[in-house]
Chains A and B, each alone.
Chain A
């Protein structure tokens, strides 16, 4: 499917390739010098991903009449994102890993944390204990060995390391034929001595046996607090990430054999891209939903806005993230699927409501329930022979006329409106005693209300009001509902990029080449600390920053990048003394030279804390606690250009008009004007009620609102009359 931002046809010079390798399909997006792009598709080839990626790229280049070789030679950058690593984990197809833990903790994966039995369940199922289940262990009990020894929370050795245990464990795991050995001891981030000693012993044993396997220490992979999420993270690195690294090498070889000269980078969970050589590849475990947020940040930066709500509607979920002061926030202890992890992941809230969400009327209470399950790629009842009989959100949109049954995915899919009408009538309208249109419209109102609530909650939760933010809407379903879920919220601006459907892939191409390293500190600052005490503390932080900086430089050095080319940003994570939840602040100073410098960091923390938790929760009387220090380093890399078109008049050209069709809006049928998105010109204003169609998405402009297309081909949705060209 060729998706082009506009129908202008300049000479094509492909610059950037972004890959979204899904479980079924591999998409590639190729962006040219002007910011135009095409999307290529191919069936995923799990045994060797490079085949599907090459096929998909070839498909894309084909739309621009370029050969694969010619196109590849022209590219200067490529970014990979995909689900292969996550799928390997979820389907338990990882490497054979052996694990060494503190003695007595060999049941880690059987016990898990109780929370892993109900993570991600719906509200109702979280209450309903018979639905809770344990995960299948990543590593069976017999390949987990305990080694005597203990270190306490201060780093003091309380039980000496039982070196003979360690030797026996390594021997036994090698006898089992493991591919890798992971080591995770309690409080190793405070004192790595025991883990390092085990590594030394393992090296000796392996040298004697003449057989080497990688030994991964938790202190090297994620030196941060909480032993079980840390163990998950280290084991996932060996179990799922290392096999992915081998796959990625093949992708790189393939590209180079086709004449490409760039080094492909991988999208990581913290929002930057990293090299295939990175020490910790599990940072790239989740990359899919990250792209849109990174793209939004890039766009916001280019057009000069600081605060953005990113909203993305797909078939199964509504994903939300905030960019505040030009930065998105990261979560240090995210949950992915049913795993608690210790790695930094861009903070995205996912609401289980998408365009495929099922709609039911509870037969007992006669109240409407939306989701949590979804028709997903099966769309809904309106798509015949897809195996679902339950009404979905898309069915309701088809009934209302907001979606065009003859132009679904540009007409590639045959949709039957009559099926949707029948299903809505029998399943929703009749039980509620409403007309079909009224019922479908009610469901959409309810759906959009829940999204609106999620958006509002997210903004208020950061201590802001909608008026402080602009909202971006993208994903296939975003522009259909954006009018509804922003209704009555006074956002500064509501924006829909014309390439909303490909926005996530576009976003991956916008990511910085960036590493992020963290270290647990656990430094207390008593309420009445002296300037000297704060200076001493500052020195510890400086030292940690220095160490992290050399780790960042070390990663870039693997790809031959000089230290002078790396931009460095220091962060501190703080909380009030005793608390268990910290807040990350960008340090206003590069080094802490005085107590005053330290106070500036505290001020930044207090300011954020007030906003998030209300002033009454401020507790400076307890003192402060530095949990972690963080360092990021980034280097310049090729980014997509933004299209920049001359502004034309407010009235769309005749070629953009596709006539009218009746659309049911809240309580009546209205004859809505229909437009072809690609034919609209920068400067055009579309008054609601109107439907702007493109092959991959539909943008609904509600009554009394208008959408103006700007020079970057971004729509701005505002109150009718205010949208001046």
Chain B
């Protein structure tokens, strides 16, 4: 890119428009939106009204340059996470840090980057360290604006004649961030001092060049310096491309037009978003909680206070008011913890954004205007908004992803009520397993790996079709799992199987999308640390309208095994775990078997030839399974998505012969389904009666598993409001507490 230094090169001072500081501009903007309800107090969108064509031309031009920056720059990266799976995103921001337009990719960060820019403005970076043309900033601090430290952001300010007129931002998900455990979704850190390299909006370059000391520091801090370096170059080159596009636009359209455009477009998106909500959704209050397990009681390597089994609690109340304003409230979320799954409000707001772009506003005209039409409440002191700055966030995604399951179910109910049945989704698959670890790899180098095949889990079922099988994930709708030959270039593990995971999708009239599984064998490394990261004891996605949750995960590994003999004698070797019971593996290979529901653990050592099964989860189901057509079930059985056992148990299928469970007896199936319905009716009680019974038998005597008791105790302690809600629902007196 051609870069022409401008005359403006002082080290500090106001950088805003008309002699104002950026801070003044930001405070003005915030005051105006508060006072008037409109971005920048714009009652009318003058440019769009007067020159709709020009408005549109400028927009399409800016968006084009962002998409192009992403498509070009990702080729610089060496990381399959970035290059193959597209884990990067570019956005253009106004001077105050509101996004104007964005590329495709991990959209969650369009908003987290906005918070990082606003942090620099609020804390007066203009004065110290100074914001100048040609400067480069880097951030990955979740407490400032991020999800976890492995998502690294680069910012380049854009100047025009001495005024800062915008920011180009890019984020990539790096392979390793130097946490206490290897990989990019560190499970193991219990405080932020173990979260790895933290760069809290650091000025890392000037005159378009990175500072050498910054480069050295980062290369020494991460386990994968080569990948780090190329990812950083990817981000920087893309930001420079965007800056050049903006400058060239201004040369053609004039700075006045550009300034007006970036104001108008924000207010325009805010209004469109509200209009869209009013059109698509029935107003109301929707409640849908979510849960997730973490089992560390047996983990001797953790500090005492972290060594326990716990449950994440994400009560979620979604409000759509009749004027089209959307609110999401996590009041009742439990206390933050000494684990790496804590989230910040920035992460929560980013996650809401990414969910909305896939559901109610999937179009090319999104930006932070939508943020001004939504409210998100993250109660202080909870895991969604820790009241200390020492919390660990290494794998914030582990709680973040499940916690938004209730949002999508609530939106689906609102879509359904309006009649937009094609938009209904029962939820999404949990993004696991992540095969993660580090050690000396097959090239003889120190390495860390974070396999991103979990970008392709099963999708939620719809009203009109089954969930999408193994092809997307909630934080990246453009899912991909990459080629085997690409992953084996970076991981010292062979694939000896990669296939559809039977019974992984949730049962229902429409079944959840299937997941898949990969059987990996360690190869060409003496010893390598690996861990499992995924749900195990609980499911986070319960299904909708009578549909069932997807199968929850488990871990399976066979260490110190006899595979060499198996190969030598040309005996069959395991390529997967067909029935999820380990038998398909242990019948063929002898060794030390790990098979349990502790599907998130800390890294442990593996040796060459050890087996590791990575299971990508399925999606939740929709509707009564007894209403699934026999034709669909036959297809599922033939394609290996469903086992005969589930067909019998959940769908009421009767096979023609008991031995050869292939052909379905349609008449007997219909009869069996009638029986099952009658049995259900016989067992059914009014909801009020069921609640009363549960109250007596479970709630009043506090008869819960310890992690559940602990979870409720935590929620009631953090939030007196939620405690009241709980007591009112169960008709308990004010003294009731866990």
Q: Mark A residues whose CB is within 8 Å of B.
A: 103-107, 110-115, 117-118, 123-130, 132-134, 141, 146, 148, 150, 152-154, 156, 158-160, 162-164, 186-187, 225-229, 364-368, 432-434, 442-443, 445-446, 449-450, 453-454, 457, 460-461, 488, 576-581, 612-614, 616-617, 619, 622
CB A113 to nearest CB in B, in angstroms, measures 6
Q: In this assembly, does B477 line the interface, its C-beta being within 8 Å of a C-beta of chain A?
A: yes
Q: Which residues of A contact B84 (CB under 8 A)?
A: 580
Q: Please state if A186 and B499 are interface contacts (CB–CB under 8 Å).
A: no
Alpha-carbon distance A132/B467, docked complex (angstroms): 10
B523 at interface (Cβ–Cβ under 8 A)? yes
A367 touches B477 (CB 8 A): no
Q: Which chain A residues border B21 with CB–CB below 8 Å?
A: none
Q: With A124-B363, A364-B275 in contact, is A117–B488 under 8 Å at CB?
A: no
User: Are the C-beta atoms of A127 and B500 separated by less than 8 Å?
Assistant: no
Is B480 in the interface zone, CB < 8 Å from A? yes
Measured between beta carbons, the chain B residues less than 8 angstroms from A152 are 442, 488, 494, 523-524
Contact (Cβ within 8 A) A106 B499: yes
Which chain B residue lies CB-closest to A612? B72
**Contact: B362 with A128, CB < 8 Å?**
yes
**Which chain A residue lies CB-closest to B492?**
A152
Task: Tell me the residues in window 342-359 of chain B with beta carbons closer than 8 Å to chain A beta carbons.
Answer: 357-358
7 A–B contacts, CB within 8 A, in A order:
A115-B478, A127-B477, A130-B423, A150-B496, A453-B60, A580-B75, A580-B83
CB of B594 within 8 A of chain A?
no
Within the assembled complex, what's the spacing in Å between the Cα atoms of A185 and B673?
45
Q: Which residues of the other chain, B, contact A616 by a CB distance below 8 angstroms? A: 208-209, 233, 236-237, 240
CA gap between A364 and B279 in the complex, in Å:
9
Query: A127 touching B104 by the CB < 8 A rule?
Result: yes
Residue among B236, B357, B497 with max Cβ neighbours from chain A (10 Å): B497
List B45-80 residues whose CB lies under 8 Å from chain A.
48-49, 52-53, 55-57, 60-61, 64-65, 67-68, 72-73, 75-80
Closest beta carbon of chain A to B438's beta carbon, Å: 16
Residues of A within 8 A of B78 (CB): 576, 578-580
A-contacting residues, B203-229, CB 8 Å: 208-209, 226-227, 229
Rounded to whole Å, the gap between the CB of A453 and the closest CB of chain B is 5
List 6 extra interface pairs beyond A153-B442, A446-B53, A614-B1, CB under 8 A.
Answer: A106-B499, A107-B516, A158-B523, A160-B568, A226-B486, A622-B229
From A114, A364, A366, residue with most partner B Cβ within 10 Å: A114
Contacts of A125 in B (CB 8 A): 362
Q: What number of B residues sit within 8 Å (CB to CB) of A?
A: 99
Please state if A446 and B60 are interface contacts (CB–CB under 8 Å).
yes
Distance in angstroms between the alpha carbons of A453 and B226 in the assembled complex: 34
Q: Which of A117, A141, A153, A367 contacts B489 (CB 8 A)?
A: A153
Q: Which residue of B lies closest to A578 (CB)?
A: B78
Q: Within 8 Å of chain A (Cβ to Cβ): is B268?
A: yes
Instruction: Let me know if A488 and B75 touch, CB within 8 A.
Output: no
Contacts of B252 in A (CB 8 A): 488
| Nearest CB of chain A from residue B408's CB, rounded to whole Å | 11
Asked if residues A148 and B499 are in contact (CB atoms below 8 Å), the reply is: no
Residue of A nearest to B79 (CB): A580
The reply to whether the CB of B141 lies closer than 8 angstroms to some CB of chain A is no
Is B362 a contact partner of A457 (Cβ separation < 8 A)? no
Check A449 against B61 for contact (C-beta < 8 Å): yes
CB contacts (< 8 Å) of A578 on chain B: these are 78, 226-227, 230
Interface flag for B425 (CB, 8 Å): yes
Are B570 and A162 in contact, CB atoms less than 8 angstroms apart? Answer: yes
Please tell me if B470 contacts chain A, counting CB pairs below 8 Å: yes
On whether A150 and B494 interact (CB within 8 A), knowing A227-B484, A364-B276, the answer reads: yes
Which residues of B479-496 have CB atoms within 8 Å of chain A's CB atoms? 479-486, 488-489, 494-496
Q: How far is the CA of A213 from the CA of B324 in the complex (A)?
A: 65
- Interface 0/1 of B487-519, CB less than 8 Å to A: 011000011111110000000000000001001
Given contacts A227-B483, A579-B230, contact A107 B462 (CB under 8 A): no
A124 to B65: give the CA distance in the assembly, Å: 17
Inter-chain contacts of A445 with B (CB < 8 A): 53, 57
Q: In the complex, what's the smallest C-beta–C-beta distance from A322 to chain B, in angstroms?
A: 14
Closest B residue, CB atoms, query A622: B226
- Contacts A124-B363, A613-B75 given: A225-B485 contact, CB under 8 Å? yes
> Does B575 reach chain A (CB closer than 8 Å)?
yes
Q: How far does the alpha carbon of A203 sit from the alpha carbon of B389 in the complex, in Å?
A: 69
Task: Decide if B567 is an interface residue (CB 8 Å cutoff).
Answer: yes
Separation of A129 and B462 alpha carbons in the complex (Å): 11
Closest chain B CB from A218 CB (angstroms): 11
